[in-house]
Amino acid sequence: MPREWTKSSLAKTIDHTVFKAVATEQQIRELCAEARANGFAAVCVNPFWVPLCARELSSTRITVCAVVGYPLGANATSVKAEEARLAVKQGAGELDMVINLGAAKSGDWKTVEEDIRAVVKAAGTAPVKAILETCYLTDAEKVRACEAAIKAGAVYVKTSTGFGTGGASAEDVRLIRKTVGDRIRIKASGGLRSYHDAIKMLDAGADRLGSSSGVTIVSELPE
């Protein structure tokens, strides 16, 4: 049976995001203010903005989430690990990392797993979400990527960066949920702009949502 959502409970599933290359300090401050006003789970930002967000949200329970190896996933593993380590040191409480997509498409799942594991180790106690970028993967590859993420110690698998050729789909969320069961959580992101989009993903099995339209999503919730 579909869950009954309130504005508060729905907001707690949302990572409120700004990833634009030209995002300004004022826009990041506004992102944090919107997160405080709505009670979002986290703000998710490029690593440069982590210290500012940590200061802005220091008196709240809202998590600062930093992206790692974003948006292509093609950085050297050692670079991803150092990026993760620095982000946590500067105040990130969660990390969203892009898996090595080239290795995945090459069938080199050992490298995919080791890449994720290095970031998980560098992150310490901060949960890591492994971004699969599902638009580039076959269903069989999505399954293998999920298994690699679980073996490597990620806490979530995430569908998309929002920079690929497609974003989250209910079909992918259902496939991931069928694959992982309750072994790992799921974050749906990419193209979620409305309450309808959000509920579709949650009903399909997502635990967390990533969107730059978090305010719109919760404001559309029927009273």
CA atoms within 13 A on the CB side of 152: 30
Q: 45: closest CA among 73, 67, 77? A: 67
CA dist., res. 142 & res. 130, Å (int): 12
CA dist., res. 125 & res. 30, Å (int): 28
Q: Which residue in the list 15, 80, 96, 197 is annotated as catalytic?
A: 96
115 is catalytic: no
CA dist., res. 105 & res. 147, Å (int): 15
- Cα 35 from chain centroid (whole Å): 16
Answer for the pair 46, 68: CB distance below 8 angstroms, yes or no.
no
- Distance of CA 42 to CAs 60, 75, 97, Å? 10, 25, 15
Answer for the pair 53, 15: CB distance below 8 angstroms, yes or no.
no
178 is catalytic: no
CA dist., res. 101 & res. 80, Å (int): 14
Query: Cα dihedral sign for 152, 157, 162, 166?
Result: positive
Q: Which residue in the list 15, 158, 172, 197 is annotated as catalytic?
A: 158
203 is catalytic: no
Answer for the pair 95, 126: CB distance below 8 angstroms, yes or no.
yes
Q: Which residue in the list 15, 80, 187, 197 is annotated as catalytic?
A: 187
Mind telling me the catalytic residues? 96, 158, 187
